[in-house]
């Protein structure tokens, strides 16, 4: 599965840094929004990876 939650969190950090030095309130709000989107993506990827692992493990499939 493509995507790396760690990389998404790094992107979120970059967006928050950009928000700190944003030239306007609108830019700050947009960078903060992007950071939140990256964090949600990281969480979604982690959930998807967990589900995939459960589907691949025959022991876990029988339990579910």
**Would you state the structure tokens that stand for residue 9, as one six-digit string?**
């969190």
Q: Which residues have CB under 8 Å from 46's CB, separation 6+?
A: 5
pLDDT, tens digit only, all 64 positions of the chain? 578 999 999 999 999 999 999 999 999 999 999 999 999 999 999 999 999 888 887 666 555 5
pTM: 0.81
Domain that holds residue 32: 5-63
pLDDT of residue 54: 86
**Would you state the structure tokens that stand for residue 47, as one six-digit string?**
């959930």
pLDDT of residue 1: 52
How many structural domains comprise the chain? 1
pLDDT of residue 57: 74
């Amino acid at each position: 599965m493509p995507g790396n939650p760690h990389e998404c969190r790094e992107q979120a950090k970059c967006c928050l840094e950009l928000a700190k030095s944003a030239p306007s309130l609108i830019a700050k709000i947009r960078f903060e929004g992007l950071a939140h989107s990256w964090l949600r993506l990281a969480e979604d990827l982690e959930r998807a990876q967990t589900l995939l692992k459960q589907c691949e493990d025959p022991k876990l499939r029988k339990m579910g």
